[in-house]
Structure formats: C-alpha cells, structure tokens
Structure 1
Amino acid sequence: MAVDHIAGTMLAKSFRFSPLGYLTLSSVVALSLGGCAVGPNYKAPHPDLAAFHNSSLVGAAAEQAPASLDRWWEGFHDPELLRIERRVLTQNLDLAAAIGRIRQAHGAAEAAAAQMLPTLDFTPQASAYRLSNEGLIGRMAHNFPGYNRDQRAYDVHGVASWELDLFGGLRRGHEAARDEAQAAIAQSAGVRVSVAGDAADAYFQIRGYQARLRVAQDQVSTDQHLLDLVQQRRGRGVASQREVDQAQALLQSARETVPVLRVALEVQLNRLDVLMGVQPGTYAQELALASPLPTIPSIGNVTPADVLRRRPDVIASERRLAASNARIGQALADYYPKLSLSGALGFQSLSVNKMFTPAGFGPSASGALRWRIFDFGKIDAEVQQAKGAYAEQLAQYRSTVLHAAEDVENAFMALAQSEKRADDLGNEVASLTQARDLSSQSYKAGVIPLTDVLDANRQLLEAEDRQADNQSETARAAVRSFRAIGGGWEGATETTRLASR
C-alpha cells in the first residue's frame, strides 16, 4: 500500500539503507498494519431470561392481527393521533438534541480512526527581516562586501508523521469510540420511543379528561335539577331543610370536580404542545372537540429475545459495555513501546528564483521510540481503572436487562387488569342504565318520586365517569406496553447486527 511505501522510504534513510534495517522496517510496518491488538476480545453477554409470565394476559387474539411495533400508534386507527405523532417525530427538541449527540459521537469515532493514519502538514512560509548591526551577526558581517541588512527567506515544507500501532492501542481506542457512537444511536432511538409514547400518553389523557368533563357537567345538571325539585317540595312543606342542604352539598361536590378536570386537561394540552416543539396553546384548538377513545390494538406474543433486541436502553448499555472492554486493551497497550515515524520534504532559499532547485531541496527523516518503563505504577492504575469501569458497566447492563423485564411485566399486568376492569365497568353501566330507565318508568306510573329517578341517574353518571377514566388508563397502559417492549422506531435489525459484533 502507498502508506507502507512512504513509511519504508522515510525510515530506510535513518537505517542508512542497510538490508537489515529495511528488513526490520518491513516487519515493524507489517506489525502495525496487521498485528493483533492487546487486551481481551469482546464477547457480548447473553442474559438468560425466562419467558414473561404476564405475556399470556395480553397475547394476540385469533381474530386480531398484532400492531406493528415500529409504528404501533397506527394500530389505534385514530387520525388525530397519527397527526400528533408525525409532528412529534419531526419537531421534538429532545429528539433534535439526541441527533446532535449522534453527530458528536460519530466525530469522536472518526477522530479515533484518523489517529491510526499518517498526518501531513504543508507549511509554506515567507519572511522578511532587517539584521541589527549591533547584533552578533551584524557586527561580524556588516563590513563584508555585499552585506545587506534587509533579508528575505522562503521555506516550503511538507511534514509527515505516523505513530505505528504496533500493539493495537489506537485500534482499541477506535473500537471504543465506534461502540460509543453506536450507543449514541441507540440512545437516540430511546428518545424517539419516549417522545412517541409521551405524546400518545398525553393525547389519551386529554380524551379521557374530556369524556370525564362531559360526565361531570351532566352530573352538575342532574344535581341542579335535584336541588330545584327539593326546594319546590320544601316550599310546599313536603321536604325538610335537611334534604335541601343534602341536595345543595351534592351539587357543590359535582361542581368542585369540574375545575380539577379542567386544570388536568390544560396540563396535558400544554405538555403535548411542548412535545411537538411549539409554544403551549398552539394546537390546543385542534383538540377542543371531544372524541371517543379508540380501540386498543393487540400487542402479540412477546419473548425476552424480542425485548433485548428492540429495547434501545438495553442496546445502548451493551454497546457501552463493548466500549469499556476496548478501553482495557487501550490501557494495556501502554505497557509496550510506541514507535513514531516522521519526515519532511521541502525547499528553502533566500531567493524565489532558486527555491525549487536541487540546491534548495532539504529532506529529513527520523524515527522515535517511546516506552514507559518506569512510571511509579501509573499504567497499572490506568489498567485497573479500565477493568473497574468494565465491571461497573457489566453490572449496569445486567441491571438494565432486569429493569426492562420489570417494565414489561408491570405494563402487561396493568393492561390486562385495565381491560378486565373495563368489562366490569361496562356491565355496571349497563345495569345502572337499566335501573335508571326502570326508575323513569316507575316515576311516570306514579310509583316512586322524581328524587329516586335523579338519584339513579346520578349513580349512572358516577359509573360512566369511572368508565371514562378506565378507558383512558387502558389506552395509556397499552402505550406503556409498547414502550416497554421497545416499540416505536425502525432499524432494530441494523442495531441487532451492531450489538452482535
């Protein structure tokens, strides 16, 4: 290769072109370009996780295909949610910052790779100066014929240098920087998963609060009607003041819930705008019209291998583990000598006309050996630090895997129980609806007073409020489940390939 030839030419001059010197040079260059790097070769850990014991609770139904994990929000079939997710994934500022971190990591990896290659500096220079007649040179030369105090000098040089990576320290450093860049890519995917999940979570809370506000306003109307009725009966002497006070308290209690729900709704609207990278209040009007919550898509059967392959935090932790392993080799390489080559080719002259002539040509070459033989245990300390960092990162990786499994189990259980509660609340609402209708019929027949009808209606509205809240929680539990298994980004196959290296 060209670099091998240049290095051989430069260093051969320092060996005075002896056969032994050139043979030694060839061996050195071969070691530098193809030798083995010191330090342990990395082997990715393989966590032995058993099957998730809650995965059967959310398994895909036979009649429903599971949602795509890359774009799980499409499985809700909600046009407003799709529009929100598109905005979030293109406008979110946390995601933009993560992309910036990727560029930094790529730059560090490229810089580490460049350290293994020669560098060439081109340094043309021109200078003009006047000699002092009182200086050493001026005192000696000012009486010489042709002496001129005004001088000009021209210098054109190219300087090359190269540290031969004999024992792989630079290669290990490049490996570490490359692995850290891959970890940054995985972290960016993690940000994408988070912001997509946060946007869906805020959206479903908005729809839930809107539904609960509608129920609360119906409750206020019902309690106001009840109070009017009791006051009329009080005026006729049929009801007591105690009944009026009770009806008044019920109305006040219903009214108190409205401001709380409005505040919670506003918080989520503002949160969603910030996630979309805009000032709070920008898109609130688009969501002013209430909409029913969508149906929950099926998740499908999930295995631990799926989670380890898709979870960005697990992938990033594994890549950082690989980087810390490479840092051990980088530290160990300091036990061995480092050989650097340098050379210069250039022209120097006091006249431009004689610059590029054989007389103005001045090449030079040198080789330097540096070996930290005695440093009071500094290399030992650096190696211990690198090994300690690897042990720490290994423990963090195992902890990340366990936390990922914990997230999956908790999310699946929450989703399964929310869906079960939805069935119970559906039955309760159906029963209370029937009881309210029967009360209305009985009132029309003159069997019961209107207060009983209003009380039945109030119980129904309370159940509907719990049902609306549970529908929102069920949708949020589904979002947490998709996040827990690493859904919400493309490129899992590529990252799996990187993680397996």
Structure 2
Amino acid sequence: MRVAPLILTAVAAAALAGCTVGPDFARPQAPAASGYQPAGEAAPPRVAFGDGPEQHWWTAFGSPQLDALVDQAIAHNRSLAASNATLAASRDEVRAIAGRRLPQVDANARADQQQVNLAAFGFSGSNPLAPGGNPEFNLYTVGGGVSYDLDLFGGLRRSVEQSAAQAEAQQRQTEAAHLSIAGQVVNQVLTIAALNAQIATARALLADDQRNVDLTQKRRTGGEGTLVEVLNAQSQYAADRGDLPQLDQQLAEARHLLATLIGTTPDTLPPTDVALDRLTLPATIPVALPSALVHRRPDILQAEAQLHAATAAIGVATARLYPDITLGATLTQGAPAVGDLVRNAFRGYDLFAGLTAPIFHGGTLKAERAAAVDRARASQARYEQTVLVAFSQVADLLSAMRNDTRSVADQQASVAVAERSRHLSRRSFEVGNSGILQVLETERLYQRASNGLVVARTRQFLNVARLYVATAGGWIAPTAPPAP
C-alpha cells in the first residue's frame, strides 16, 4: 500500500489549517460621551452616576408585595419561558455546528439476500451453480468510516463563531425580556395603586356630595334654601357617581393584565392593594455612565452580538471561495456467512483524501461574500442607532426626574390651597354667606388638584422605574463565553 502521498497531503493540509479568512471581530469602542445632559446642567435629584443599578432594583420601592409579584413574574411568565427555551435551543445549535469540526465517525451494517440474473450477462442454458435457475446467496456486511474536514481556510471555525455570536444575541434578548417583564410588572402595580388612589378620592368626593345634598335639603326645609340649590347638589352627586364605574373598569383591566404578566389567571391573582403612600422613592438612583451603559444594557449587547455574527458571516462566505480538503478512511467486512465476518480474508479498507475547489459559479460566491459585507455594515449601523436611542431614553428620563420633582411640589401646593378654599366655602355656605354653586366649584377644584397630585406622584414612580430599566437595572451582564 502506498500511503506516502496521502500522508504528505495530510501534513501539508494540516500546516494550512491555522488559516482563517475573513475579518476578525473587534468590539466597538465605548462612546466618548461622559454624560447624557448638556454641559453645565445639574444632575437631577436622587441620581448618582457610576456603574448603574444592580440586581432586584424594584426592592428600592420598599414594598414586599411588589417584590413578590416581580419574583412570580420572573418565575412563571410564559413569554419568558418561551425566551428561555429559545436560548437553550440556540446554545444547542452552537454545539451542533462545533461538532462538525471534529472527525465524523459512522458505523453501518447490512444483511442482503440476492439472486443473480445470469441471463442479463449473456449466460444461458444449464447453470452448474444453480441448475434450476439463477443462483441465490446471502451477504452480510459490517463496517464504518471516519472523515475529517481540514477546514483549510477556517470556514467551519467562522461558522462556529457566527453561531456562538447568534446564541449570545439570543441570550441578550432573553435578558432584555426579563428586564422588560420586571419593568412591566412594576408599572402595572403602580398603575393599580394610582387607580386605587383615584377611586378613594372619587368616593371621598361622593361623600362630600351627599353631605351637600343633605345640607341643601335641610336648608330648604328650614326656609333658607331653594329647590335650585337642592337640584344642583343632586346633579353634581349623580355626575360624580358616574365616574366610578369607569375607574372600576380600568382597575379590573389593570389587574387582569398583571395576572397575565405573572403567569396566572385573573381569578387566582394575589392581593394587589399596594398604595402609593406606602411606597418609597429611593434615596439615590444609580445611573450607568455612557461608557458603562454600552457594556450592560441588553439591547445594546444584543446589537453588538449581531454585529459579531455578521462579521463572522463574511469569513464563512470568504472560505467558500477557496479549496477544501477532506481526509477519511473506511473499513468493511463482507461475507456470505455471519461467522466469516471476523476473518481477515473478508476485510476491505479505503483511505482517501478529497479536494473540492470552486472553478466557476457564475459570480455567485463573490456576490454572497459582498452581501455578507453589506449585512455587516447594516449591523454596524443598527448597533450605533441602538446606542443613540438608549442614550436618548436615559436623557429623557433624567429630564423627567427633575421635572417630576417640581410637578409633585406644585401639585402638593395646589391641593393645600384647594383644601383650604373648599373648607372656607363650605363654612360660608353653612352660615348663609354664599350659595351652593361656590361650594361645588371649590370641590371640583379640590378633586382636580387631588387627582393631579396622584398622577404626578405616579408619574414620578413610573419614571424612576423606567430609569432603572433604561440603565439595565436587575442584570449584571455576564462575560460572553468563548466560541467552542
């Protein structure tokens, strides 16, 4: 057997096996921006710039009930379960592609019963092997083979790199989904708390309306009031009572959505009586600097991983332009009887080296590489756009933090003035110095001011939660695993 040429070919190919064509991925540099606000603008209250929030940011609101709801959503939300399963599948795909870089070993076995058609080969007449007709015999075969792609120009290596980057992108997408679900649960709990506060305000207003009705009727009975005053009070009571069903409907819908988020049905939703007054704003909100945000926010890391995958795809397309060598061997035992399968006389083997080189494909391979380069450019642009959008979101929320503080203070002052005006107008009406219309108007102003304060405080809590989400609170971005 002359195996020297085969060995020389294998050695030469192995020497070239370290070559990997296509560009190597370089992680995009962090932006030069040192902040999110215009130069000279003071930082909002309660904000401290640094590495950003750590895990379980929702605990900063000081509500064990809220914490339990978020934990339940992380454990049972169906969308997260689907995202986790998709991530597991993408990691399995990486291992599947990486397995192609190893020798491929197969075994086979076969049992045949054959009848030879001698007439088809020109034989006729009496057959000494089979006097009655064509001969029949059995054939038993066992064997196996091994093949190995030398991956001369790194096409397989780039494929594994591409698959690993795609799996990382899926991991980042899963992280973003967890972060988003936590934010949605917090937002929904805050919405429910706000609706409860608005309903409480509406019921308190109805109680005042009923007192106005009783007072006007009493004054009319005593000869000091008029029927018009009674009707005005009754009309206002009926109008205010009509607002409650809509608030109750909004509360029911908010609870139903929360049940979906935490992975349960509305009838099994746990109590959600969180009140705004029982929530606390965190004393300090850690916000990631731009240089830290790009290395921890999941959507940015996902765009980065997609850029990595697109860069590796260039190498995959480039490798198809060059030759590829495959080495292999097969061993076969074939015998007419099972007992003969172990005898050397029935053994055969084959050693081979195969070369595949593209000659003419009508420009397809070059066009595919050009398309891969264009897709990498598109991924680069999408990455940069994702970073810009993230910075804009954080800047918006930082501005909102400053304005929310002012808005809450203004609304608190408005409630205080409206409460005093309502008290004085009621006293004035009771002693007969003013009419019922003045009382009703001051109560309207007080209701609007109270609802405005609820809205302002809810918006302040919501923007704090959104700021945590925007700066990737709840996750510590793990180091990307090396490609197999």
Report whether the alignment pairs 1:392 with 2:375: no
- Percent same amino acid among aligned pairs? 27
Residue matched to 1:39:
22
Q: CA deviation at 1:334?
A: 1.4
Residue matched to 1:118:
103
Report whether the alignment pairs 1:407 with 2:407: no
Q: Spell out the pairing of 1:126-205 with structure 2 (5 A cutoff).
A: 126-131=111-116, 136=121, 142-144=127-129, 149-205=135-191
CA contact (8 A) 1:204 1:293 kept: no
Against the structure 1 CA distance between its residues 21 and 350, is the aligned structure 2 distance closer, same or farther, given a 3 Å change threshold? closer
Please point out which of 3, 22, 27 is paired with 2:12.
27
Q: Which amino acid aligns with 2:23?
A: P
CA contact (8 A) 1:179 1:323 kept: yes
Report whether the alignment pairs 1:418 with 2:401: no
CA distance in 2, matches of 1:203, 1:416: 23
CA distance in 2, matches of 1:41, 1:206: 51
Against the structure 1 CA distance between its residues 463 and 198, is the aligned structure 2 distance closer, same or farther, given a 3 Å change threshold? same
Report whether the alignment pairs 1:310 with 2:290: no
TM-score normalised per structure 1: 0.86
Q: CA deviation at 1:241?
A: 4.9
Please point out which of 219, 234, 244 is paired with 2:205.
219
CA distance in 1, matches of 2:92, 2:19: 25
Report whether the alignment pairs 1:282 with 2:268: yes
- The number of residues matched between the two structures is 476
Q: CA deviation at 1:321?
A: 0.1
Residue matched to 2:216:
230
CA distance in 2, matches of 1:129, 1:448: 119
Shifted more, 329-338 versus 466-475: the winner is 466-475
Shifted more, 231-240 versus 471-480: the winner is 231-240
Report whether the alignment pairs 1:268 with 2:254: yes
Structure 1 segments unaligned to the other structure (5+ residues): 1-12
CA contact (8 A) 2:47 2:285 kept: no
CA contact (8 A) 1:180 1:323 kept: yes
Against the structure 1 CA distance between its residues 469 and 254, is the aligned structure 2 distance closer, same or farther, given a 3 Å change threshold? same
CA distance in 2, matches of 1:381, 1:303: 42
Q: CA deviation at 1:139?
A: 5.3
Report whether the alignment pairs 1:83 with 2:45: no
Shifted more, 361-370 versus 433-442: the winner is 433-442
Q: Which amino acid aligns with 1:39?
A: G
Please point out which of 81, 84, 87 is paired with 1:99.
84
Residue matched to 1:53:
37
CA contact (8 A) 2:53 2:287 kept: no
Please point out which of 316, 319, 323 is paired with 1:330.
316
Q: CA deviation at 1:141?
A: 8.2
Q: Which amino acid aligns with 2:36?
A: F
- Residue by residue over 1:301-351, the C-alpha shift from the partner in whole angstroms, topping out at 9 and shown as x without a partner, is 431122212210000000000110010111111111111122101211111
CA contact (8 A) 1:68 1:75 kept: no
Q: Which amino acid aligns with 2:207?
A: S
Q: CA deviation at 1:410?
A: 1.6
Report whether the alignment pairs 1:469 with 2:455: yes
Against the structure 1 CA distance between its residues 56 and 486, is the aligned structure 2 distance closer, same or farther, given a 3 Å change threshold? farther
- Residue by residue over 1:106-159, the C-alpha shift from the partner in whole angstroms, topping out at 9 and shown as x without a partner, is 122112211222111110222234556766598588423799944221111111
CA distance in 1, matches of 2:439, 2:6: 108
Structure 2 segments unaligned to the other structure (5+ residues): none
Residue matched to 1:4:
none
CA contact (8 A) 2:101 2:149 kept: yes
Report whether the alignment pairs 1:364 with 2:353: no
TM-score normalised per structure 2: 0.89
Q: Which amino acid aligns with 1:49?
A: A
CA distance in 2, matches of 1:314, 1:383: 26
Report whether the alignment pairs 1:294 with 2:276: no
- Residue by residue over 1:462-499, the C-alpha shift from the partner in whole angstroms, topping out at 9 and shown as x without a partner, is 3222212222221111111111111122x41425x879
Residue matched to 1:206:
192
CA distance in 2, matches of 1:193, 1:426: 33
Q: Spell out the pairing of 1:5-20 with structure 2 (5 A cutoff).
A: 16-18=2-4
CA contact (8 A) 1:85 1:196 kept: yes
Q: CA deviation at 1:456?
A: 4.6
Q: Which amino acid aligns with 2:245?
A: P
CA contact (8 A) 1:59 1:301 kept: no
Q: Which amino acid aligns with 1:51?
A: G
- Residue by residue over 1:440-462, the C-alpha shift from the partner in whole angstroms, topping out at 9 and shown as x without a partner, is 77778x47569466765554343
CA contact (8 A) 1:205 1:268 kept: yes
Residue matched to 1:69:
54
Against the structure 1 CA distance between its residues 137 and 261, is the aligned structure 2 distance closer, same or farther, given a 3 Å change threshold? farther
